[in-house]
Amino acid sequence: MTWQGRRDGQLTVGGIPVERLAARIGSTPFFAYDRDLVTRRVAALRAALPAGIQLSYAVKANPMPALLQHLSGLVDGFDVASAQEMRHALDTPTHAGRISFAGPGKTVEELSQAIAAGVTVELESETELARARAISAATGVPARIALRVNPDFTVRGSGMRLGGGPRQFGIDAERVPKVLAGLGDDVDFQGFHVFAGSQNLRADDICEAQRRTVDLILELADLSPPVRYVNLGGGFGIPYSRRDSPLDLEPIGDNLARLMRERVVPRLPGARVVIELGRYLVGEAGVYITRVVDRKESRGTTFVVVDGGLHHQLAASGNFGQVIRRNYPMAVANRLGEAPDEPVNVVGCLCTPLDLLGDRVELPRVEIGDLIALFQAGAYGLTASPTGFLSHPAPVEVLV
Ligand SMILES: *Cc1c(COP(=O)(O)O)cnc(C)c1O
């Protein structure tokens, strides 16, 4: 894990020991995101990828406005999936032309706002294209569009597949030629978007997906107006358990450099080529801090009860689409480095057995009042959790 920061036996976030951070915030639980870790992550990625590749941040991974402000100075664009995400992205210095709006079921209201703002609308269906054209006709603003293509291949190794086979995402590749033939100059055609899968830790599989995506887009480019934008998707994963190894960026960078040099640049000179990432940019930069409220024994098992739970960090309970429940990495944040003492079950404060944050975790002896840190909480954390369930107050989020 990237969380190396510690001082006097305490975890630090942005250089601040967690007890001090808890005192400054005035309450637990909270999410803390480390600004410097995000900066370093983007820098490492830039160093590995060829210069011609632009980076777009997928806002749904973590839409905290302060984080978006920070990222706007680091990445080239934002990918949004709702009108609210779009407003937050437009509130940063990032130019509207560098913002793309993907996702099925965009409403007429969302489409109208995106078209008026000059955001690139990534169309998910033929009927959505018809709606965008109607809005252009009514408002006099040509819609800036890209076609999201549902590829005719699937990506191996993805934690979540979003392309290949029947999908609610994108227009099936075999239907795209007909759609292209029907385009007129009432729309400002930019290019293509393919997003085939998420949370992939296997570099080879990502490379293969990128090769096939480039093949597909170049084939379609023969039939389309000039292509100015190519969105190759992303899906770079992060490790969530000791069994996971971090993604090896080097082969991905080499593969993209070759694809750019040999295929994309000669065929589509001047096109903006984008990789869009959410989890990989912010996931490891966030930690969820909870305080131990109770400790009890029940028939041979020790339960450590914390003041947070799955209502804030659903993914750590294994209920966010995971097939197999595995413990997220965690630590007693105010006593780092102490030897493990006993296996305990770390549970949240909700009245459901689903609220299990750590199943037989080896931790130093945990006492009431200790702080438990759950790592890898920077992406798909708070906003991917059922905060209304049991009506506890929302946790604070800080960028430090
Ligand atoms: C969610 C999403 C992403 C980000 O996926 P990560 O796995 O977080 O990198 C990228 N593109 C689109 C279209 C998405 O919907």
Number of the ligand 1 atom closest to the C-alpha atom of 122: 13
Number of the ligand 1 atom closest to the C-alpha atom of 102: 13
> 233 C-alpha to center of ligand 1: Å?
7
Mutate to test the pocket of ligand 1, among 55, 79, 236, 322 (most ligand atoms within 8 A of CB): 79
Please report the pLDDT score of residue 2 as a whole number.
53
> 124 C-alpha to center of ligand 1: Å?
15
List per-block mean pLDDT (blocks of 10 residues) for the chain, which spans 400 residues: 79 96 98 98 98 97 98 98 98 98 98 98 98 97 98 79 85 98 96 93 96 97 98 96 94 98 97 98 98 98 98 96 92 95 96 98 97 98 98 97
Q: Does residue 349 have an active-site annotation? A: no
Around ligand 1, the residues with Cβ closer than 6 Å are 58, 60-61, 79, 81, 102, 195, 198-199, 234-235, 276-280, 379
> 196 C-alpha to center of ligand 1: Å?
9
Looking at ligand 1, which residue's alpha carbon is closest to its atom 4? 278
> 198 C-alpha to center of ligand 1: Å?
7
Q: How many helices (H) and strands (E) does the chain have?
A: 11, 22
Number of the ligand 1 atom closest to the C-alpha atom of 199: 7
Domain annotation for the chain: domains and CATH numbers: 6-32+284-399 (2.40.37.10), 63-277 (3.20.20.10)
Please report the pLDDT score of residue 186 as a whole number.
94
Instruction: Report the residue count for the chain.
Output: 400
> 236 C-alpha to center of ligand 1: Å?
9
Please report the pLDDT score of residue 314 as a whole number.
98
**Which among 11, 15, 30 has a CA at the least distance from the CA of 312?**
30
Number of the ligand 1 atom closest to the C-alpha atom of 81: 15
Looking at ligand 1, which residue's alpha carbon is closest to its atom 7? 198
> What is the pTM for the complete model shown?
0.96
Looking at ligand 1, which residue's alpha carbon is closest to its atom 2? 58
Looking at ligand 1, which residue's alpha carbon is closest to its atom 6? 278
Handedness of CA 170, 79, 383, 367 (dihedral sign): positive
Residues 264, 62: Cα–Cα separation, whole Å: 31
Query: Exposed, middle or buried by CB within 10 Å (0-12, 13-18, 19+), for 248?
Result: middle
* DSSP element (H, E) containing 204: helix 203-221
> 155 C-alpha to center of ligand 1: Å?
14
Mutate to test the pocket of ligand 1, among 45, 60, 82, 200 (most ligand atoms within 8 A of CB): 60
Mutate to test the pocket of ligand 1, among 123, 194, 230, 276 (most ligand atoms within 8 A of CB): 276
Handedness of CA 264, 265, 271, 272 (dihedral sign): positive
**3-state secondary structure string across the chain:** CCCCCEECCEEEECCEEHHHHHHHHCCCCEEEECHHHHHHHHHHHHHHCCCCEEEEEEHHHCCCHHHHHHHHCCCCEEEECCHHHHHHHHCCCCCHHHEEECCCCCCHHHHHHHHHHCCEEEECCHHHHHHHHHHHHHHCCCEEEEEEEECCCCCCCEEEECCCCCCCCCEEHHHHHHHHHCCCCCEEEEEEECCCEEEECCHHHHHHHHHHHHHHHHHHHCCCCCCCEEEEEECECCCCCCCCCCCCHHHHHHHHHHHHHHHHHHHCCCCEEEEEECHHHHHHHEEEEEEEEEEEEECCEEEEEECCCCCCCHHHHCCCCCCCCCCCCEEECCCCCCCCCEEEEEECCCCCCCCEEEEEEEECCCCCCCEEEECCCCCCCHHHCCCCHHHCCCCEEEEC
Which residue among the candidates 297, 339, 351, 391 is catalytic per the annotation?
351
Please report the pLDDT score of residue 177 as a whole number.
98
Pairing of strands 371-374, 330-332: antiparallel
Residues 228, 324: Cα–Cα separation, whole Å: 41
Looking at ligand 1, which residue's alpha carbon is closest to its atom 14? 58
Number of the ligand 1 atom closest to the C-alpha atom of 148: 13
Please report the pLDDT score of residue 155 as a whole number.
75
Residues 131, 128: Cα–Cα separation, whole Å: 5
> 113 C-alpha to center of ligand 1: Å?
22
